[in-house]
């Protein structure tokens, strides 16, 4: 989330949020090191870098499963999005009809991707997937506070779905918000519905608190233990 706040222009923030969310997996220190390198290569304006379409600066760049050729292909698709739609917000709005998941699936059909190319970033329909990285991006774009940028006005906060990672999933299990055995689309919806009962107009208001303060800092395992009373703010 820190990378969004490096920039002042809407397009730069939007692009920073997209890349930061899409590469949000693996060890956080390694991920942040990669993102710092990525944004340094793009210079002062990620949007200008993408619109210019010169990818020489990306040579040799890779992150875990994404090698240099795939990252370069991704930048080519991003250039297409900004040339044809004007931005990621305009792209998503064109296919958003009230269902976040269907919009994510639909927009892929209108991008220059072939076969299984770039499915990591623009996924095909997979019913079980919680689409965590895309929903993290949507939270950053729709909500507005000291963390989230709130750049998109066409989508309501109450329609957001939690970006379900392993930490939030364990919290949801421990609190009884879901009984699912693994993170999934159904688990994400059940946890979102539970949070809506606390704050119907803004269910993701507590996402960062639950994930970081409870899931990570308190070491939530998904099961209540005696030591939870000492570490977890939910049982204190």
Q: Are 174 and 220 in contact (CB under 8 A)?
A: yes
Helix (H) or strand (E) holding 49: helix 46-52
Cβ within 8 Å of residue 30, ≥6 positions away: 64
Helix (H) or strand (E) holding 78: helix 68-84
At 231 the pLDDT is: 72
Domain ranges of the chain: 1-155, 161-236
At 216 the pLDDT is: 76
Q: Which residues pair with 144 in a beta bridge?
A: 149
At 229 the pLDDT is: 66
Give the separation between CA 92 and CA 159, rounded to whole angstroms: 14
Percent of residues in the chain assigned helix, strand, coil, to nearest 5: 55, 0, 45
Local mean pLDDT, 10-residue blocks, the chain (236 residues): 88 97 92 96 97 96 93 98 97 96 96 95 96 98 95 96 94 93 96 96 92 75 72 68
Six-digit token string for 38: 């990525």
Six-digit token string for 184: 């999934």
Q: Are 171 and 220 in contact (CB under 8 A)?
A: yes
């Amino acid at each position: 989330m820190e990378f969004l706040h490096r920039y002042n222009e809407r397009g730069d923030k939007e692009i920073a949020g997209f890349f930061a969310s899409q590469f949000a997996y693996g060890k956080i220190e390694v991920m942040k090191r990669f993102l710092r390198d990525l944004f340094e290569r793009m210079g002062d304006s990620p949007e200008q870098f993408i619109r210019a379409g010169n990818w020489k600066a990306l040579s040799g760049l890779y992150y875990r499963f994404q090698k240099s050729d795939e990252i370069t292909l991704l930048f080519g698709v991003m250039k297409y999005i900004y040339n044809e739609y004007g931005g990621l917000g305009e792209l998503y709005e064109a296919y958003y009809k009230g269902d976040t998941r269907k919009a994510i699936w639909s927009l892929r059909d209108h991008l220059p991707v072939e076969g299984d190319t770039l499915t990591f970033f623009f996924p095909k329909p997979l019913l079980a997937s919680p689409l965590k990285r895309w929903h993290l991006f949507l939270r950053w774009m729709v909500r507005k506070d000291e963390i989230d940028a709130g750049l998109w006005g066409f989508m309501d906060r109450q329609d957001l779905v939690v970006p379900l990672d392993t930490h939030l999933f364990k919290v949801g299990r421990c609190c009884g918000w879901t009984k699912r055995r693994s993170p999934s689309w159904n688990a994400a919806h059940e946890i979102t519905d539970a949070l809506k009962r606390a704050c119907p107009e803004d269910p993701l208001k507590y996402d960062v608190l639950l994930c970081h303060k409870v899931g990570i800092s308190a070491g939530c395992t998904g099961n209540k233990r005696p030591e939870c009373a000492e570490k977890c703010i939910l049982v204190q």
